Structure formats: structure tokens, C-alpha cells
């Protein structure tokens, strides 16, 4: 087990510098254009693939970093560049995590490479869990997967929403109910291969922020996938469902489902994204305050501005510490006994919203215009308190964990 440390090693520092350079030289100059276009920035994805950032190898190296700091470090630097473009670059990762967390070795080796493609033919993947009537309330999921034993196929029907890369993905990872009576414990995850009949894009959303990232509904109309596309395999699913039914009968401990395992693994990473956006806004505000003069002196000479910046810097550092702790715990198999993963996402998400708002205030009228990036950063920051578990859901998870009570 790697010891927890606040100091990056030399290799990690080199990777961070490399990512920061890409974010500064490639992502930031393109940010305003793709925000306005509200389209997937395929040219930037291709550049990221050419240098090895958008690839299975890079993601795996960071994911399996024994210190746990590879993923949060990478997320922070990319989202420092721009949240919308960065989400287009890393959005495939959520689907990849779903396969890594729940799939067999054969499934991992077969499907994750197809999620990324290569530098000459870039692909993306989508993780599809939320539904129009089942976002935070995952137990209300209506998408059904029914096993056709005669053909060894699963038949999936339903509608998914808020899916990053939904409909344009080469590979979709879909969470569906296989036993509605078990609620969220009766869910399983499935691979929907490329060009599968019945899988199509529904409404594409026009969003407040992260507009360079494609978000859409995914329609599943009698989608048939081979039995081998059930993540983890049917034997493992049958065993899990049997345990869940027994626990439900006896009132025993909870059984985690595949979607929840994916979200638990990804929450500190989302926190790191929020840290990157918050840090970017803080740095813009700091530079502006040191150079903008009013009444014959830089505005940072005023305590009202300087103290805001002090609070912003403190909050960003505190958020990073919580994210790093949770990431280290996750990679080293330490249980989140106090919901540390949810803590990291909650605090970092709220920090991003607050810090980007403070940055606009420090820039004044300039901050409210699109001539300065803090306006876009503030719009982007709003998503962190919503996706992959709202702030309210994080507080529910934390309060249940620390109290041991079924708080509603």
C-alpha cells in the first residue's frame, strides 16, 4: 500500500507539466469557440489522441497509479484549461470505469479499446444511467433488460437521459433493471456495441455550461445484445441477485449495484474537475486584481478584494486535499467509512460554484462579459453540484454514513 503523501513524485510532476502545457496551448485557445458552437471539439480530441492524452494507455496509467493521485492530477489540469472541452476528452472515461469496475478481463480487453479508437479514427463512449424519471432516484429506473435464454441475448428497452456522448458514442454502457422488485439492487450494466439496431440518439440538450460536451438522450427500442455483453457475466449477476433477494427477505446488509460502484469510483475524479475550474477562476481573478487599478492603486490593495482572494485560495487547496485523500483511499482499498468520496465531491463542487462567482465579482462588469473567461467558468461550475450525484445526494450519503440512520 502506498503511503499518503502531499508531494508528487518526479514522474507525476512531469506528467502534470505536460498536461498543463496541453491545456494552456491547445484547450484554452479553443475554449470560447467550442462553447459558442456547442459541439464536440473533434479537432481537439484528435490532437489529444495524437499526443497520447486521449487513449486507453494514458487513462490506465493514471487509473492504476498506486498513489491514487494520477486521475485527480490529470483532471485538475485538463479542467483548468476548459471544462467543456476537458469533459469531451475525459467523458469516455466514465464508461471505461464502468467496464473496469464491473467487467471481466475479456470484456475489458474487448470493449475499452473500441471506446477510444486511435489518433486517425477517434471514437467516444457513453455511460447511460440517468432517466427522465430516475436521476437521483435510481431505484425508479424503468429501463428493462430481459434475458432471452433461447438466443442467449438480452433485450433492452427504455430511455436514458443526460448521457455524455449519448447517441454519438461508438460504445454505450447502459444500466438497466433486470429485477424491478429489488429496486436499485436489481440493476445490471450492459455493453451496447457499435451500430446496434434500436439504439439511437434522442434529444440533444442545449446547456447552460460545459457546452463543448455533447449531452443527449439515448433511446433503446428492443435493443438486443449478446449474453457476453452483460458486464461481469450472468453467473456473477445471478449470484448477486440471489444474495440481494436473501438480504431483502432477512433484512440484511445492502448489496451494491454496478452503477453505484461506478459512481463511487468516479466521485473524487469529479471533485478534481471542480478543483481545476475553481483554480482557473481564482488565478484569473488574482492576476486581474494585481493589474487592475482604481483610485491610483491595484484593487488587490483593498482588503475587500484581498480577503476574497485569500478565501478563494484556501477553499481551492482544501478541496484538493479532500479529493486527494479520497483518491488515495480508493486505490488502496480503504473503505469510505465517513463517505469520504462524497465529501470530496460535495466540497469541491460547492467550492467551484462559489469561487467562480467571486471571480466574476472581483472582475466586476468585465467578469460578466464573454471577453473574460470567468463568465464561462461560472456557467461550467454549476454542473458539478448536479451530475454524478447532486450536492443534496452527497449530503444524504454522508449523513447516512456518519449516523448509521436511514435518513430520507
> Cα(121)–Cα(97) distance, rounded to whole angstroms?
22
The stretch 363-380 carries a mean pLDDT of 98
Alpha helices in 332-390 (DSSP H): 340-363, 374-381
- As annotated, the active-site residues are 388
> Cα(395)–Cα(342) distance, rounded to whole angstroms?
8
Q: Residue-wise over 369-389: b if at least 16 C-beta within 10 A, else e?
A: eeebbbbbbbbbbbbbbebbb
- pLDDT beyond 90 at 356: yes
- pLDDT beyond 60 at 207: yes
The confidence score (pLDDT) of residue 360 equals: 98
DSSP state of 27: I
> In which band, very low, low, confident or very high, does the pLDDT at 4 lie, cut at 50, 70 and 90?
confident
The confidence score (pLDDT) of residue 249 equals: 76
Question: How many residues does this entry show for the chain?
Answer: 408
The candidate with the shortest Cα–Cα distance to 284, out of 358, 350, 347, is: 358
> In which band, very low, low, confident or very high, does the pLDDT at 255 lie, cut at 50, 70 and 90?
very low
The confidence score (pLDDT) of residue 399 equals: 97
Residue 116: partners with Cβ closer than 8 Å, 6 or more residues away: 49, 54, 55, 56, 92, 122, 123, 125
Cβ-contact 183, 244 below 8 angstroms? no
Dihedrals phi, psi of 80, to nearest 5 degrees = -60, -35
- pLDDT beyond 50 at 91: yes
Q: The cell 454514513 sits on which residue? A: 401
C-alpha cell at 176: 438497466
Please state, in angstroms and as integers, the Cα–Cα distance from residue 390 to each residue in 136, 183, 270, following that order: 7, 20, 12
pLDDT tens digit string along 258-281? 555 556 667 999 999 999 999 999
Cβ-contact 37, 102 below 8 angstroms? no
pLDDT tens digit string along 278-318? 999 999 999 999 999 999 999 999 999 999 999 999 999 99
The candidate with the shortest Cα–Cα distance to 98, out of 66, 130, 126, is: 126
The confidence score (pLDDT) of residue 97 equals: 84
C-alpha cell at 47: 490532437
The stretch 177-196 carries a mean pLDDT of 95
Compare 211 and 56 and report the one with higher pLDDT.
211
> In which band, very low, low, confident or very high, does the pLDDT at 195 lie, cut at 50, 70 and 90?
very high
C-alpha cell at 366: 468585465
The stretch 159-164 carries a mean pLDDT of 97
> In which band, very low, low, confident or very high, does the pLDDT at 137 lie, cut at 50, 70 and 90?
confident
> In which band, very low, low, confident or very high, does the pLDDT at 134 lie, cut at 50, 70 and 90?
confident
Amino acid at each position: 500500500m502506498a503511503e499518503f503523501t502531499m508531494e508528487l513524485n518526479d514522474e507525476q510532476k512531469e506528467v502534470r507539466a505536460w498536461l498543463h502545457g496541453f491545456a494552456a496551448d491547445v484547450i484554452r485557445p479553443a475554449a470560447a469557440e467550442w462553447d459558442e458552437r456547442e459541439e464536440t471539439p473533434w479537432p481537439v480530441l484528435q490532437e489529444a489522441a495524437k499526443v497520447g492524452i486521449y487513449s486507453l494507455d494514458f487513462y490506465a496509467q493514471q487509473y492504476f497509479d498506486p498513489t491514487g493521485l494520477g486521475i485527480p492530477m490529470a483532471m485538475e489540469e485538463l479542467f483548468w484549461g476548459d471544462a467543456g472541452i476537458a469533459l469531451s476528452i475525459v467523458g469516455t472515461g466514465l464508461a471505461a470505469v464502468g467496464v473496469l469496475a464491473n467487467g471481466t478481463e475479456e470484456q475489458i480487453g474487448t470493449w475499452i479499446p473500441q471506446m477510444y479508437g486511435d489518433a486517425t479514427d477517434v471514437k467516444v463512449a457513453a455511460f447511460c444511467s440517468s432517466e427522465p424519471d430516475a436521476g437521483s432516484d435510481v431505484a425508479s429506473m424503468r429501463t428493462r433488460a430481459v434475458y432471452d435464454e433461447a438466443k442467449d441475448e438480452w433485450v433492452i428497452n427504455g430511455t436514458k437521459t443526460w448521457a455524455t456522448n449519448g447517441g454519438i458514442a461508438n460504445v454505450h454502457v447502459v444500466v438497466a433493471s433486470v429485477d424491478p422488485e429489488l429496486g436499485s439492487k436489481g440493476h445490471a450494466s450492459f455493453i451496447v456495441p457499435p451500430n446496434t439496431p434500436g439504439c439511437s440518439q434522442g434529444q440533444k440538450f442545449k446547456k447552460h455550461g460545459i457546452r463543448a460536451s455533447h449531452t443527449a438522450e439515448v433511446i433503446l427500442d428492443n435493443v438486443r445484445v449478446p449474453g457476453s455483453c452483460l458486464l461481469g457475466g450472468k453467473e456473477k449477476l445471478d449470484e448477486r441477485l440471489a444474495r440481494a433477494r436473501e438480504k431483502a427477505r432477512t433484512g440484511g446488509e445492502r448489496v451494491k449495484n454496478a452503477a453505484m460502484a461506478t459512481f463511487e469510483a468516479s466521485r473524487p475524479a469529479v471533485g478534481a474537475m471542480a478543483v481545476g475550474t475553481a483554480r482557473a477562476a481564482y488565478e484569473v481573478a488574482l492576476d486581474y486584481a494585481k493589474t487592475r487599478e482604481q483610485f491610483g492603486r491595484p484593487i488587490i490593495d483593498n482588503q475587500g478584494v484581498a480577503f476574497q482572494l485569500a478565501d478563494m485560495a484556501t477553499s481551492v487547496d482544501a478541496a484538493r486535499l479532500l479529493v486527494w485523500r479520497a483518491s488515495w483511499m480508493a486505490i488502496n482499498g480503504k473503505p469510505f467509512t465517513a463517505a469520504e468520496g462524497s465529501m470530496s465531491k460535495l466540497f469541491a463542487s460547492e467550492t467551484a460554484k462559489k469561487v467562480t462567482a467571486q471571480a466574476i465579482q472581483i472582475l466586476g462588469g468585465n467578469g460578466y462579459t464573454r471577453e473574460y473567461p470567468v463568465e464561462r467558468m461560472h456557467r461550467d461550475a454549476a454542473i458539478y453540484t448536479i451530475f454524478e450525484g447532486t450536492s443534496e445526494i452527497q449530503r444524504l450519503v454522508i449523513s447516512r454514513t456518519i449516523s448509521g440512520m436511514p435518513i430520507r
